[in-house]
Amino acid sequence: ELILESRLEELKECLQDQVDLDPQKLIVARASGRANLIGEHTDYNQGLVLPIAVDRDVLVAGVVQEGDQVTLHSLDFQDQVRFGLKNIVYDPAHPWANYTKGVVQVFKQKGYTLSGFVAAIHGNIPIGAGMSSSAAIEVAVATFLEETFGLKLDPREVALWCVEAENNFVGVNCGIMDQF
């Protein structure tokens, strides 16, 4: 609990350095990592899965801003990316941001109108350890967008949109287990 509060404070401090942050307007979303008890690489090979959530997660905190500019801050990579909602493109120089961009792009393709926002991302899931750090980013971002823009979405559909973002925007062949 203390660790979570500390991480939330880090996110708030990061945002306060960028915008005039009204704590009442701050939206925070969280998605956990997972482990598959029967091994990896089974879902997209049409095999069985037995996933469990783990005590590692990704947090996304942010606020709406006027216009169509999105600003993302990664506390993990000490990096910042800006992009416009009208022209979202894959950026090999900032791979961590492509997962967020992909989710935003899919929301737009599904017909949802989004405005600009500023968000900070912090995760403690080991990257590349088979614990779904990328899926956790996608799901946390999708949850953030849903809450920020007052959308009422079917969680199953949103999970499939996150898979679509990872497959089609990021270019990673993943199945549906991680996002569910």
d(CA 65, CA 166): 26
SS3 160: helix
Query: Catalytic pick from 55, 79, 91, 178?
Result: 178
HSE (CB half, 13 Å, CA atoms) of 6? 5
Whether 154 is a known active-site residue: answer: no
HSE (CB half, 13 Å, CA atoms) of 8? 11
One-letter amino acid identity for 75? Answer: L
- Say if strands 117-123 and 69-74 run parallel, antiparallel, or are unpaired: parallel
What are the angstrom distances between the C-alpha of 165 and each of 48, 78, 101, 137? Answer: 23, 24, 8, 11
Residues annotated catalytic, as ranges: 178
